[in-house]
Every structure is written in C-alpha cells, then in structure tokens.
Amino acid sequence: MTVTFAFDPDIVRVGALSIGWHGIFTAVAVFVAVGAGLRGAERIGFSSDRLTGPLTWAIVGGMVGARLFHVADHLAYYVAHPLEALAIYEGGIAVYGAFIGGIVAGAIAARRAGLPIPKLLDIAAPAMLIGQAIGRLGCLSNGDAWGAPTGTDYGIVYTNPNDRLPADLLGVPTHPYPAYEIVAALALLGLLWLLRRERVFRVDGQLFAFAALGYAAIRFSLTFFRQETIVWAGLQEAQVISLVAGAAAIAALALLPLRAPAQVGGNRAS
C-alpha cells in the first residue's frame, strides 16, 4: 500500500523565503520539549528562572549543530551552493547535530550557572524524545528525511516539486522513515517512563545515558532504510555517530555508579 503526499510543503513563499510545515512542526517541537523539560525540572525543585540561560543556549546550540551536521552530510552540494547552507528555513537539519549542539551548549551554560548537569540531562532526555517525535512530522511533511526506495508498491510517494527529497525519487515509493522513527521514539519514551517509575535508575545521569543508548540503537538500525552518503565501512553518517554515542552511553552507564556511590541505593527524585 502506498500513501501519496501531493500537497505543497511550503505554506507561504516570498522570494527565497518560505514558511512551511517543516518549520511549524519544528517550532512546535521546541515549544513542547521546553515546556516538558521545565515541568520536569519544577517537580524536583528547579525554578524556571534558573534554567532560562541554559535553555536558551541549548536551543541556540541545537539549531547551530543541526544545520552544521546536515551541511557536513551533504557537503558536495553545499560547496556548490554555499549560500544555501544558511537557508535553514528550507528544512535540512540533522537530529544528532541538534542533540549534540544543544547538550554541549546547555551543559556549558549550566556549569557556569552552578547547576547539576547529570540531573538536568535526566530531565532533558524525555523532553528531547517528545520533541523528536513531533519534529519528525515536519520531515514527513516535506520529504526532508527521505527513506530509500522500497522497490515495491509499499511506501510513501512524494509528488510535489517543492518536496525536499531528490528529484529522481518523486513519484517513487520510499520507506516512510520519519514515521518509523516517531514510533520508535515514543516506544523508547514509554520504556523510560516505566523504568523511572520502577526506580531502576539509581544515579543521576543514568536515565539520560540509557535514553542515549536507546536512541543510538534506533538510529543505527532504522538508518538502513535511509538513503544518505556512505562515510565509513559501508555505514551512513548517522550510523557512525550512533556507534560512538552508543559506546559512550554504555561507558556512562557502567561508570556513573562508581563516580557517585552515595546515590546508589537511595531514592532520588525524578
């Protein structure tokens, strides 16, 4: 069964500037994720005033990182069209870049503000997954994160010339990759909620590390249904990053209890 997306992903276009469904879903994703994160922080005693600076820097860092990673993954195109590297309103953001840029910038700001980074990361993890699920609706709307051709009569078919996937894939059934990731992200979110309710995570930072490991597994496996540049050993950029992120998450899960023995066996708020 195929599903055809024939609508124009651009709602309004004035010259080179466009406002499309991708941008709207991205804005909603950021708004909802920030709101969820603030509510989680307030439940354990952090006021929103203390988090304004780190949150602002995390958002800015996420936007910069998302675009940089996307440009790096399509470097040949942007070398030929350098001005388009700045056209973030057209779509074209890399989720891992958003995560890494946001985490690094937010962590630096949090450290300067004297806030506990591992605890804040635990708060951020579920919010990031919620934002990711919403944001992928934007990718689904315009073909921004297109899947590989299915080779069958199953898949999603983009037909509008303003869709962001390569022109040779217009009218071709492709894997609905964003939909796959939405389902997987929500499943991981549900698992995090269950494990947190059962107080499986005994040390600050473990919830975030588990979420990072889970997302790394999701991206590595689902990226086989994508069609992106091969960068190393037959793997796409997201898969290589997933291997590194997954290894770092496993190390964190093993080392965090050793670095914070006083928390082990206690009941930490979450």
Query: In this predicted model, what pLDDT tens digit does every residue of 57-98 receive, in sequence order?
Result: 998 888 888 888 777 766 777 777 677 666 665 556 677 788
Q: Is residue 43, in this structure, part of any structural domain at all?
A: yes
What is the C-alpha separation between 260 and 245, in angstroms, rounded?
22
Q: Is residue 167, in this structure, part of any structural domain at all?
A: yes
Residues 6+ apart with CB under 8 A from 41: 48, 51, 120, 123
Condensed to tens digits (0 to 9), the pLDDT of residues 216-268 reads 999 999 999 998 878 888 898 889 999 999 999 999 999 888 876 555 444 44
Q: Is residue 114, in this structure, part of any structural domain at all?
A: yes
Nearest to 234 by CA among 213, 220, 249, 248: 220
Q: Report yes or no: 212 and 188 within 8 Å, Cβ to Cβ.
A: no
Mutual angle of helices 48-73 and 95-112, in 10-degree steps: 140
Q: Is residue 107, in this structure, part of any structural domain at all?
A: yes
Q: What is the dihedral of CA 113, 36, 139, 82, to 10 degrees?
A: -20
Measured from the Cβ of residue 184, the count of other Cβ atoms closer than 10 Å reads 21
Residues 6+ apart with CB under 8 A from 112: 53
Sequence length of the chain is 270
Tokens standing for 60? 């800015």
Range of the domain at 220: 2-256
Q: Is residue 267, in this structure, part of any structural domain at all?
A: no
Residue 204's pLDDT band (boundaries 50, 70, 90)?
very high
- Stretch among 1-5, 13-17, 227-231 having the lowest mean pLDDT: 13-17
What is the C-alpha separation between 69 and 52, in angstroms, rounded?
26
Q: Domains in the chain: how many in total?
A: 1
Q: Is residue 270, in this structure, part of any structural domain at all?
A: no
Q: Is residue 269, in this structure, part of any structural domain at all?
A: no
Region of 5 on the Ramachandran plot (φ > 0 left; ψ -120 to 50 alpha; else beta): beta
What is the C-alpha separation between 266 and 4, in angstroms, rounded?
53
Q: Report yes or no: 178 and 58 within 8 Å, Cβ to Cβ.
A: no
Mutual angle of helices 206-222 and 237-259, in 10-degree steps: 160
Nearest to 136 by CA among 73, 85, 91: 91
Judged against a pLDDT cut of 60, whether residue 270 lies above it is answered with: no
- Residue 267: the pLDDT is 41
- Residue 43: the pLDDT is 85
The pTM of this model reads: 0.85
Nearest to 118 by CA among 243, 212, 188: 212
Q: Is residue 243, in this structure, part of any structural domain at all?
A: yes
**Average confidence (pLDDT) over 41-56:** 84
- Residue 94: the pLDDT is 75
Average pLDDT score, the chain: 87
Q: Report yes or no: 97 and 65 within 8 Å, Cβ to Cβ.
A: yes
